C-alpha cells in the first residue's frame, strides 16, 4: 500500500468528516441541561466545585445513600475542568461532546486506512457512522460524553497496537513495537476510566490483528493486557468497597435471552431506518414492538445461515468476519445475556459496537468494488448517498428534542417511551412550574406502569395538596405510611393534611427537575 498516498487522501478526508459532524450536531450547542446532565454535571458536587474534584477518583457517584454502579472519573474530571473554566454554561460541554465524536470519526477513518481499506471506502464508512442517528443518545446531551471519550481512547489503542504489530513484523528484536504496545495499553486504560464496555477493547484488537505478528508479540500483549486489566479492576474494587449500589432489576435468564435476540433485531434492522428515536427504551415481552424486533432478528439470523450454506462470497471476506465479531463482542455485553441491565435495549449502547459493522462494510465495499458492474457501483453509491442524507437530516433534527427538559421528555413520550420514569420526569418538570393538574395526571399514568415508586407517590400527594384535594393526597400518604410507618417526613406531611396547618412547599425539593432521586423503581444504572 502507498502510505504517502493514503496520508494525502486523509488530509482531505478528515476535515470533511469534521465538517459533517459539526453540521449534524451544531444545534446541540444551543441546548441546555437535560436529564442526567442535572445529576452528573450541574448538581454533582465534585464537578460543580462544591467539593474537591479529586473525589471523582476516590469515591463513587452517589444518589442519596446509594452509589451508582459505575465509575467514570476521566470524563467527569473533564467536565469539572470545563465547569471551572466556563462556569455553568452548557454550550462548552456540548462542544466537548461534538469534538470528541468528530475525533472518533477521524480516528476510525485512519484505522480503516491502516487496515488496508482504500480511502474512499474508509471515508464513506466513517461518514455513515458519524451521522448515524442512534449516536445522538451519546453525543447530544453532555452526560453522554463518556461514550465518545472512551471511543477516542479505544481507537488510539487500536491504532497503537496495529503499529506495534507492523513494527514487530519488520523488526521483532527492536524496541519500537514494545513502545507502541505500551502506548496502546495506556490508551486502553484511559478508555476503561471512561466507560465500562472499554474492558473489551482488546477483543476488537484481536479481531483486527489475528494472524499477524508472532508468538512473542502475542505473549507480551497478553501479559500487558492482564496486568492493565487487573490494575483497573483493583482500582474499581477500592472505589466501591463497602458501598451500597443502586442495582438494576433482576430478570429471569430466559427473558434476558429473548430480550437479547430482540435487541439484536433492533440494532441491526432498526439501525437501517432510525426515524423513531428515544431514550428510556424499556420495551418488554408485553409490547408488540418487542416481538417485531425479535422476528427481525430471527429473519436476519436465518438469512445469514442460508448465505453460509450457499458459501456466499461476502461471508468469506476476512474483513467482514473481523468487523462482525467486533460488533457481536460489544453487543453481547449489552444484551442482558451476561448481566441484567436496566433496559432490554438502548441506542447509545451501540456507540462502539457500530464501528465493527462500519469496518465490515468498508472492507466488503473495497473487496467487491472491482468485481461488480459499473451499474451496480452506481446503485451502491446512490444508496450510500441516500443513507448519508437521511441519517444526517435525522441527526440534525434530533438535536432540537434535547433543547430542555420539557421538550425532551415530551418528545420521548411521543416517540413511545412507556416506562413509568418517563412520565415521572415530565411530571416533575410541570410540577416545578406550578402546573399541578397536568403533573398529577402524568404521575398517575406513570404509577399505572410503575406502582411502587416512592418518590412519584410522594410527589403526586404534594400535587394534590397544592391543588386543594387533601383527601386524595391523604390516600397516597397513608399508602406510603403503611409501608414506612416511622418515616418522619411522611408523618409530618400526614399531620399537615389533617390539620391544614403549615404551607406546602414546591413539589420537588431538588435543585433541578431532571435529577432523579433513589427509589425502588427509579433505577439510573447504565451499561
- On the question of pLDDT at 173 being above 80, the answer is yes
Residue 405 lies in a domain: no
C-alpha distance from residue 433 to each of 425, 427, 457 (Å): 13, 10, 18
Indicate the pLDDT class of residue 288, thresholds 50, 70 and 90: confident
pTM, full prediction:
0.90
**15 and 153, same domain (yes or no):** yes
| β-strand partners of 245 | 67
d(CA 73, CA 55) in angstroms, rounded, equals 9
Q: Could you give the angle at which helices 470-483 and 488-499 cross, rounded to 10 degrees? A: 150
**pLDDT confidence of 520, banded at 50, 70, 90?**
very low
pLDDT digits (tens, 9 = 90+) for 81-92: 999 998 889 999
Please give the helix or strand (H or E) that residue 195 lies within, else none.
Answer: none
Specify if 244 maps to a domain: no
- Strand, coil or helix: 245: strand
**Residue 464, domain CATH:** 1.25.40.10
Residue 67, strand partner residues: 62, 245
Q: Is residue 116 part of a domain?
A: yes
Same domain for 260 and 233?
no
Residues 29 and 159 occupy one common structural domain: yes
Average pLDDT over residues 496-515: 54
Is there a domain that residue 248 lies in? no
201: pLDDT strictly greater than 70: yes
263 and 228 in a common domain: no
Residue-wise pLDDT tens digits, 110-134 = 999 999 999 999 999 999 999 999 9
Judgement on whether residues 329 and 427 belong to the same structural domain of the protein: no
Mean pLDDT of the residues in the chain: 88
Contacts of 348 (CB under 8 A, 6+ apart): 134, 135, 137, 138, 144, 147
pLDDT band of residue 521 (cuts 50, 70, 90) is: very low
Residues 149 and 208 in one domain: yes
* Phi, psi for 311 (deg, rounded to 5): 55, 50
In this prediction, residue 221 carries a pLDDT of: 94
How far is it, in rounded angstroms, from Cα 280 to Cα 347? 9
Contact status, residue 126 vs residue 105, Cβ threshold 8 Å:
yes
Q: In this structure, what C-alpha cell is assigned to residue 383? A: 444508496
pLDDT at 523 over 50: no
Residues 385 and 424 in one domain: no
Please tell me the total count of domains within the chain. Answer: 3
* pLDDT of res. 255: 84
Same domain, 450 and 502: yes
Alpha helices in 49-145 (DSSP H): 55-58, 73-86, 90-114, 119-130, 136-139
Give the pLDDT of residue 86: 86
What confidence tens digit (pLDDT) does each residue in 421-448 have? 889 999 999 999 999 999 999 999 999 9
- Please determine, for residue 455, whether its predicted confidence score (pLDDT) is greater than 60: yes
- Asked if residue 407 belongs to a domain, the reply is no
Q: Which domain holds residue 47?
A: 3-239
Decide if pLDDT at 510 tops 70.
no
Whether 198 and 105 map to the same domain: the answer is: yes
Final residue of a domain: which of 212, 239, 266? 239
Q: Cell numbers 479529586 label which residue?
A: 54
Residue 511 has pLDDT above 70, yes or no: no
Residue 77 lies in a domain: yes
pLDDT of residue 184: 97
Worst-scoring range by mean pLDDT, 77-86, 175-184, 246-255, 516-525? 516-525
Shared domain check, 150 and 23 = yes
Percentage of residues in the chain with pLDDT exceeding 70? Answer: 91
Residue 238, judged by CB atoms within 10 A of its CB (0-12, 13-18, 19+), counts as exposed
Cβ atoms 191, 330 nearer than 8 A = no
Q: Measured in Å, how far apart are the chain's first and last C-alpha atoms?
A: 39
Taking the C-alpha atoms of residue 28 and residue 32, their distance in angstroms, rounded to an integer, is 9
pLDDT value at residue 95: 97
Q: Examine residue 411 and state whether it is found in any structural domain, yes or no.
A: no
- Shared domain for 198 and 260, answered yes or no, is no
Instruction: Fill in the DSSP letter of residue 226.
Output: H
What's the whole-number mean pLDDT along residues 231-240?
Answer: 91
Which of 373, 391, 409 is the C-terminal boundary of a domain? 391
Measured between alpha carbons, how far is residue 188 from residues 75, 156, 222, 234, 366 in Å?
14, 8, 13, 16, 29
Q: Where does the pLDDT of residue 9 fall: very low under 50, low under 70, confident under 90, or very high at 90 and above?
A: low
pLDDT of 501 reads 58
Give residue 446's pLDDT. 93
pLDDT tens-digit readout, 58-72: 988 877 677 887 889
Amino acid at each position: 500500500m502507498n502510505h504517502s498516498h493514503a496520508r494525502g487522501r486523509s488530509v482531505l478526508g478528515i476535515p470533511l468528516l469534521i465538517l459533517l459532524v459539526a453540521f449534524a450536531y451544531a444545534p446541540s450547542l444551543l441546548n441546555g441541561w437535560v436529564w442526567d446532565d442535572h445529576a452528573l454535571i450541574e448538581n454533582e458536587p465534585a464537578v460543580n466545585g462544591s467539593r474537591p474534584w479529586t473525589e471523582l477518583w476516590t469515591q463513587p457517584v452517589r444518589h442519596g445513600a446509594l452509589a451508582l454502579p459505575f465509575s467514570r472519573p476521566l470524563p467527569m474530571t473533564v467536565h469539572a475542568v470545563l465547569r471551572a473554566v466556563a462556569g455553568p454554561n452548557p454550550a462548552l460541554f456540548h462542544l466537548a461532546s461534538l469534538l470528541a465524536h468528530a475525533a472518533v470519526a477521524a480516528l476510525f477513518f485512519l484505522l480503516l486506512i491502516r487496515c488496508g481499506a482504500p480511502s474512499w471506502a474508509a471515508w464513506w464508512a466513517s461518514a455513515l457512522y458519524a451521522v448515524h442517528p442512534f449516536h445522538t443518545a451519546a453525543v447530544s446531551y453532555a452526560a453522554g460524553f463518556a461514550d465518545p471519550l472512551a471511543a477516542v481512547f479505544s481507537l488510539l489503542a487500536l491504532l497503537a497496537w496495529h503499529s506495534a504489530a507492523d513494527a514487530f513484523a519488520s523488526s521483532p528484536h527492536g524496541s519500537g513495537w514494545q513502545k507502541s504496545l505500551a502506548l496502546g495499553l495506556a490508551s486502553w486504560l484511559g478508555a476503561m476510566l471512561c466507560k465500562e464496555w472499554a474492558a473489551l477493547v482488546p477483543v476488537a484488537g484481536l479481531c483486527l490483528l489475528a494472524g499477524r505478528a508472532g508468538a512473542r508479540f502475542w505473549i507480551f500483549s497478553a501479559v500487558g493486557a492482564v496486568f492493565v486489566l487487573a490494575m483497573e479492576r483493583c482500582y474499581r474494587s477500592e472505589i466501591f468497597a463497602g458501598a451500597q449500589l443502586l442495582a438494576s432489576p433482576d430478570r429471569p435468564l430466559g427473558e434476558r435471552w429473548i430480550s437479547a435476540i430482540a435487541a439484536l433485531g433492533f440494532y441491526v434492522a432498526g439501525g437501517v431506518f432510525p426515524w423513531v428515536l428515544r431514550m428510556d427504551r424499556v420495551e418488554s415481552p408485553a409490547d408488540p414492538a418487542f416481538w417485531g424486533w425479535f422476528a427481525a432478528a430471527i429473519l436476519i439470523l436465518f438469512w445469514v445461515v442460508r448465505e453460509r450454506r450457499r458459501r456466499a462470497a461476502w461471508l468469506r471476506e476476512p474483513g467482514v468476519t473481523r468487523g462482525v465479531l467486533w460488533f457481536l463482542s460489544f453487543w453481547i455485553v449489552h444484551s442482558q445475556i451476561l448481566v441484567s441491565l436496566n433496559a432490554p435495549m438502548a441506542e447509545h449502547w451501540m456507540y462502539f459496537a457500530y464501528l465493527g459493522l462500519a469496518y465490515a462494510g468498508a472492507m466488503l465495499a473495497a473487496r467487491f468494488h472491482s468485481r461488480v458492474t459499473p451499474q451496480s457501483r452506481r446503485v451502491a453509491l446512490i444508496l450510500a448517498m441516500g443513507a448519508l442524507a437521511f441519517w444526517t437530516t435525522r441527526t440534525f433534527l434530533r438535536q432540537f428534542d434535547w433543547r430542555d427538559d420539557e421538550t425532551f421528555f415530551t418528545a420521548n413520550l411521543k416517540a413511545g417511551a412507556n416506562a413509568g420514569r418517563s412520565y415521572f420526569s415530565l411530571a416533575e418538570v410541570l410540577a416545578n412550574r406550578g402546573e399541578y393538574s397536568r403533573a398529577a395526571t402524568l404521575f398517575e399514568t406513570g404509577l399505572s406502569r410503575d406502582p411502587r415508586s416512592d418518590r412519584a407517590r410522594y410527589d403526586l400527594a404534594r400535587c394534590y395538596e397544592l391543588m386543594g384535594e387533601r383527601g386524595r393526597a391523604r390516600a397516597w400518604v397513608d399508602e406510603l405510611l403503611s409501608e414506612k410507618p416511622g418515616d418522619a417526613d411522611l408523618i409530618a406531611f400526614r399531620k399537615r393534611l389533617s390539620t391544614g396547618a403549615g404551607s406546602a412547599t414546591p413539589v420537588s425539593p431538588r435543585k433541578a427537575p431532571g435529577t432523579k432521586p433513589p427509589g425502588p423503581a427509579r433505577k439510573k444504572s447504565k451499561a
